[in-house]
């Protein structure tokens, strides 16, 4: 369980920064784990607000779908966003722990997906050590 603390003022600040293209200024005392998760949540919300139509092919245009089907597409999109965030986190951890060069080239590309709430997968596209690059 992760405790979450947020004020409306702080949420408004994150939305304004993202909307105006401005950087997040660290709070007094620096970035705590809670603040880092709040930033991650703000960025995830901004990515989610673009909807699946801006990420996936137009075949997944939810505007013309039956409500139940569009809800299913939106749910799959939400799961995929979480898989993407998880893989970005994995990449950053590899760098932090000195493992990047053992696992990845300088430029990494992949397709992240998540089926349901548990099954995540990453398909290498470029930059995985020991894997042929695919386009």
Residues 68-78 pLDDT 10s: 667 888 888 88
3-state SS assignment for residue 121: strand
CA nearest 112: which of 92, 82, 91?
82
What pLDDT is stored for residue 50 in this prediction? 87
Rounded CA-CA distance 119/122 in Å is: 10
Question: What's the pLDDT band for 132 if we cut at 50, 70, 90?
Answer: low
- DSSP for 53-103 reads GGTS-GGG-GGGS-HHHHHHHHHHHHHHHHHHHHHHHHHHHHHHTT-HHHH
């Amino acid at each position: 369980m992760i405790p979450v603390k947020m004020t409306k003022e702080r949420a408004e600040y994150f939305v304004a920064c993202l909307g105006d293209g401005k950087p997040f200024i660290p709070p007094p005392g620096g970035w705590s784990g809670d603040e880092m998760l709040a930033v991650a949540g703000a960025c995830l919300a901004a990515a989610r607000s673009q909807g699946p139509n801006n990420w996936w092919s137009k075949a997944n245009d939810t505007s013309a779908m039956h409500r139940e089907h569009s809800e299913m597409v939106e749910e799959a999109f939400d799961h995929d966003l979480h898989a993407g965030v998880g893989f970005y986190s994995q990449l950053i951890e590899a760098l932090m722990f000195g493992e990047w060069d053992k696992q990845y080239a300088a430029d990494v590309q992949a397709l992240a997906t998540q089926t349901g709430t548990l099954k995540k997968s990453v398909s290498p596209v470029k930059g995985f050590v020991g894997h042929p690059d695919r386009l």
